[in-house]
Amino acid sequence: MTDDEPEPPAYCPTCGRPMVGVTSTGPHDHYAQPCGCRVSQLEANSF
């Protein structure tokens, strides 16, 4: 077991890069961080 590189919580469904969080600009506008791709509310809810 190694704790050096923790698994990212999720991968962006659009570009496949690790997501560290989601920014919401409205009730139906959610964007993955740090890549900035738009994600669904379902994905946003997991953060």
Taking a C-beta distance cutoff of 8 angstroms, is the pair 22, 33 a contact?
A: yes
Select 34 or 45, whichever has its Cβ closest to Zn ion: 34
Select 3 or 7, whichever has its Cβ closest to Zn ion: 7
Query: Using CB under 5 A as the criterion, what x/- string covers residues 1-40 for binding Zn ion?
Result: -----------x-xx----------------x--x-x---
Helix ranges, the chain (H): 41-45
Contact set with Zn ion (CB under 5 A): 12, 14-15, 32, 35, 37
